[in-house]
Amino acid sequence: MSGESPTGQDWTDREIDLIVADYFDMLRLELAGERYNKTEHRRALQQFVKRSDGSIEFKHQNISAVLREISLPWIWGYKPAKNYQKTALPEGIERCLGGQPSFLTIAAQPPAPSMPGMQESSIIYLDQAPTLVSSDAETTPEMRRLIRKFDPAARDARNRALGLQGEEKIFHDERARLIQMDRQDLARKVEWTSQERGDGAGYDIRSFDAQGQERLLEVKTTTGTRTTPFFISANEFRFSEERSDAFRLVRLFQFNHEPGGFELRPPLDRSVKLEATNYRASF
């Protein structure tokens, strides 16, 4: 490679492939709870990518931004920066992910089986839901393809352990919330319905408000961000309309790091865009 600095020029595909691979090496270590040194990684990378420290750090932040958009975890020390190469960077990340599909499974893992200490952990107080955006016109074709290829909603739906841990967390949170309101009588009646009666009820947890009115909670959990898409079954949607007085959809996000959440009330189509994704075929 020439000794001339390419400062001010767009990153080449080769440079992008090198920095994305290095970023994923660091992210894999971070997800495994292992120590690593960002400065050492940057200096090693500079032997092949003749870019300044600031340029490399900013490109790392760009990679974080793309990963956030496809609802994969990113390195928390590299805050997402959205001003990135709209075509070249998503394509580079697609090449890297396509070559190591097992990384998607590792990256989407919940914290630990059955989350020891769940009952004693702090309550996730449910915040305001994101604002419904009318259009995704700003999303480039490259990003739309990347999102379709590594569909975060499908990834979460396949992750049964993640879903169960989210339900378990809300089950304990509902009981703790009622105890805080001096309604121990109601706390004892909170039911993890999907475990006690099966998945067909249209909700996961039966709880109550302080006045004793039912709260029928369907829990959707992701390791992605608060705007990561999710699936709603036809049965869940019908039930939300039939019991709009009591049904609440509880969305948990960033579940493997600083979890947060919000509630959606029926009618759900006022809060989220609903798209038909499957058809029932019969003879």
What is the per-residue pLDDT across 94-148, written as a single tens digit (0 to 9) for each?
Answer: 998 887 656 665 555 555 544 555 555 689 989 889 887 765 556 788 888 888 8
Q: Could you tell me if residue 253 is inside a domain?
A: yes
For the chain of 283 residues, list the mean pLDDT of each consecutive stretch of 10: 58 95 91 89 93 94 91 86 87 85 57 52 87 68 84 83 94 97 98 93 97 98 89 95 98 88 96 84 79
Q: Is residue 5 part of a domain?
A: no
Domain range for 158: 141-270
Asked if residue 147 and residue 96 are part of one domain, the reply reads: no
User: Does a structural domain hold residue 1?
Assistant: no
Residue 281 lies in a domain: no
Residues 103 and 145 grouped into a single domain: no
SS3 of the chain: the string is CCCCCCCCCCCCHHHHHHHHHHHHHHHHHHHCCCCCCHHHHHHHHCCCCCCCHHHHHHHHHHHHHHHHHCCCCCCCCCCCCCCCCCCHHHHHHHHHHHHCCHHHHHHCCCCCCCCCCCCCCCCCCCECCCCCCCCCCCCCHHHHHHHHHCCHHHHHHHCHHHHHHHHHHHHHHHHHHHHHCCCHHHHCCCECHHHHCCHHHCCCEEEECCCCCEEEEEEEECCCCCCCCCCCCHHHHHHHHHCCCCEEEEEEECCCCCCEEEEECCCHHHCCCCCCCCCCCCC
Residues 246 and 158 reside in one and the same domain: yes
Same structural domain for residues 197 and 246? yes
Indicate whether 248 belongs to any domain: yes
The whole-model pTM stands at 0.77
| 262 and 177 in a common domain | yes
Q: Express each pLDDT in 42-61 by its tens digit.
A: 999 999 998 999 999 999 99
| 85, 156: one domain | no
pLDDT of residue 3: 43
Number of domains in the chain: 2
**Is the same domain home to 54 and 146?**
no
Does 35 fall in a domain?
yes
Q: Which of 63, 84, 107 is the last residue before a domain boundary?
A: 107
Residue 206 lies in a domain: yes
Domain end call among 57, 88, 107: 107
Do 52 and 161 lie in one domain? The reply is no
Q: Is residue 102 part of a domain?
A: yes
Tell whether 251 and 201 lie within a shared domain: yes
Domain boundary among the residues 59, 83, 107 is at 107
